[in-house]
């Protein structure tokens, strides 16, 4: 008991001593620890960053540029000179003898065999009769494919799909294939609808190489082949594949043996419409062609003569004029719509030309101050007579091989032409026009007539000459050279 009491008193004594010592010691107050020292100084404002100037845009490569719809007009021709041009085609290669080919067996009626390695007995109707088991391949399809001459392929579901795409979905008329197409190497390729002429097909005319070919339909409605000459289809030397865009034919792919690369000529979509106007003997049906864009272009009434020319050939010529920025109005000569055509005389043709010019001058897109008359070949005499009465802005007289120099009006009638006249002497027989050229030069130099004379001999290639004989003027006129010359002269008028 005494020991426990001793321990308790000892602990109490030590506790009192510890409290007394703590109260006797004075400690400084505790302050929060310094975390960070910051030396604030004034920083100058940053200078603005000037960006480097952007490099100039790289020029667009020539190959990426699209061909314009209207060709730029060349420099104006001199108004008081006689210009002689050389229109020689490139030299022709000597004809190579064609290799002898084995005679092909006659084709089956209305059916073309495209798989000669396998045979099948002929049947009356391959499209409707089912094939026997021995005539089927392992996959159940016929061993032999038959293509009917209308271009429809029959062979399974894929053939039906192709027929629907090529025959049903696309409904372009074959007339849309015809037109003026411009390639990027400045060559103009014309597709002429000559199906109602002695050619019986579309023609392709290259104004750069002076070549004329017929197109033979190869597959479907859009692929045609080109032969070695106008009337020869074999061996195939090229192909034309028409392409569409925005519900119209836009261009075609041209592949020939003469070129190492393919060309993609773009169609120049001129504006065309069927019109009619009142003539001396009633309504006259006409066709009006205008450049692709804008208004206020110069225009001409084209007089091609009293003969009943094929509308496809005339349309090819007017499209060439409109491609160069010149509107063109053509009409059917009097007497061509009869069962037995009766050619009109020069006086009757001049009367109809006057009516056509009145329609052209009153058209809102042309106007009387921009209207002229274009006489082509046999139409020159009527054009000169009509110009003497209508007083157009200008007159174009295109003298070709199809016109007899004796049919041109005499010196007195030519002296009465008190307006700018462009005399284009072309064809292969330009020597026969020397007396007339001398008369025109005398009227220009002595009586100050505004006559411009251009002599452009047409050295037509041999194949065009053989194809057309002595009258290849229509094919030659489709070339853009004549239209380019006339437009440059018209643009130079003041």
Residue whose C-alpha is closest to residue 186's, from 429, 491, 480, 482? 480
For residue 1, what is the DSSP state? -
| Confidence band, pLDDT 50/70/90 cuts, at residue 477 | low
Specify whether the CB–CB gap between 468 and 436 falls below 8 A: no
Q: HSE of 433 in the Cβ direction (CA atoms, 13 Å)?
A: 26
Q: At what angle do helices 380-390 and 346-362 cross, to 10 degrees?
A: 50
**Residues 401-432: tens digit of each pLDDT:** 888 999 999 999 999 999 999 999 987 788 89
Quote the pTM value.
0.66
**pLDDT (0 to 100) of residue 294:** 79
SS3 state of residue 153: strand
Q: Give the pLDDT mean for 167-180.
A: 68
**pLDDT (0 to 100) of residue 354:** 95
The strand pair at 238-245 and 223-226 is best described as antiparallel
SS3 state of residue 201: strand
| Confidence band, pLDDT 50/70/90 cuts, at residue 392 | very high
Specify whether the CB–CB gap between 183 and 206 falls below 8 A: no
| Confidence band, pLDDT 50/70/90 cuts, at residue 334 | confident
- Written as one string, the DSSP assignment of 271-303 is EEEEEEEEETTEEEEEEEEE-SS-S--EEEEEE
**pLDDT (0 to 100) of residue 355:** 94
For 76, 79, 288, 365, 484, the CA distances from 492, given in Å and listed in that order, are 5, 8, 24, 20, 12
**Residues 54-97: tens digit of each pLDDT:** 666 655 544 444 555 555 555 566 666 777 776 444 455 455 55
Q: Where are the alpha helices (DSSP H) in 185-293?
A: none
Q: Give the pLDDT mean for 206-210.
A: 77
Specify whether the CB–CB gap between 115 and 146 falls below 8 A: no
Assigned token pair, 432: 């026969």
Q: Give the pLDDT mean for 219-230.
A: 87
Q: Is omega for the bond preceding 235 within 30 degrees of 0, making it cis?
A: yes
CA distance between the termini of the chain:
149
pLDDT at 251 over 80: yes
d(CA 372, CA 293): 20
Q: Which segments of 319-432 are extended strands (E)?
A: 326-331, 371-376, 394-399, 421-427
């Amino acid at each position: 008991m005494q020991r426990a009491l001793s321990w308790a008193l000892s602990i109490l004594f030590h506790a009192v001593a510890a409290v007394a010592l703590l109260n006797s010691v004075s400690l400084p107050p505790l302050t929060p620890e310094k975390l960070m020292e910051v030396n604030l100084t004034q920083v100058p404002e940053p200078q603005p960053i000037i960006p480097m100037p952007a490099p100039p845009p790289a020029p667009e490569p020539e190959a990426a540029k699209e061909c314009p719809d209207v060709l730029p007009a060349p420099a104006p021709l001199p108004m008081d000179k006689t210009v002689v041009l050389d229109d020689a085609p490139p030299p022709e290669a000597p004809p190579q003898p064609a290799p002898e080919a084995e005679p092909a067996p006659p084709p089956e009626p209305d059916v073309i065999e495209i798989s000669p390695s396998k045979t099948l007995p002929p049947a009356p109707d391959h499209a409707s009769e089912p094939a026997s088991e021995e005539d089927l391949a392992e996959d159940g399809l016929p061993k032999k494919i038959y293509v009917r001459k209308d271009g429809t392929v029959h062979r399974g579901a894929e053939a039906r799909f192709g027929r629907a795409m090529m025959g049903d979905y696309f409904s372009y008329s074959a007339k849309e294939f015809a037109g003026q197409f411009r390639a990027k190497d400045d060559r103009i390729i014309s597709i002429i609808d000559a199906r109602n002429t002695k050619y019986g097909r579309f023609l392709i005319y290259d104004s750069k190489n002076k070549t004329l070919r017929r197109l033979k339909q190869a597959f479907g409605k859009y692929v045609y082949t080109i032969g070695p000459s106008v009337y020869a289809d074999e061996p195939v030397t090229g192909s034309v594949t028409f392409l569409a865009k925005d519900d119209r034919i836009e261009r075609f792919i041209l592949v020939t043996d003469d070129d190492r690369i393919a060309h993609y000529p773009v169609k120049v979509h001129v504006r065309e419409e069927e019109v009619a106007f009142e003539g001396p003997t009633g309504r006259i049906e006409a066709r009006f062609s205008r450049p692709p864009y804008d208004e206020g272009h110069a225009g001409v009434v084209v007089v091609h003569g009293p003969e009943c020319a094929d509308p496809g050939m005339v349309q090819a010529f007017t499209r060439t004029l409109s491609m160069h920025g010149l509107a063109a109005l053509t009409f059917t000569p009097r007497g061509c719509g009869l069962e037995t055509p009766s050619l009109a005389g020069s006086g009757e043709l001049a009367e109809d030309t006057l009516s056509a010019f009145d329609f052209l001058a009153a058209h809102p897109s042309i106007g009387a101050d921009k209207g002229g008359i274009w006489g082509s070949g046999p139409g020159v005499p009527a054009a000169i007579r009509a110009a003497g009465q209508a007083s157009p802005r200008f007159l174009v007289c295109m003298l070709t091989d199809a016109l007899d120099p004796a049919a041109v009006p005499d010196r007195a009638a030519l002296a009465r032409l008190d307006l700018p006249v462009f005399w284009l002497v072309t064809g292969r027989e330009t020597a026969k026009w020397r007396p007339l050229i001398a008369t025109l030069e005398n009227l220009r130099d002595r009586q100050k007539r505004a006559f411009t004379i251009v002599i452009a001999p047409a050295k037509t290639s041999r194949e065009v000459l053989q194809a057309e004989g002595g009258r290849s003027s229509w094919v030659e006129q489709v070339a853009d050279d004549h239209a380019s010359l006339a437009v440059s002269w018209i643009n130079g008028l003041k």
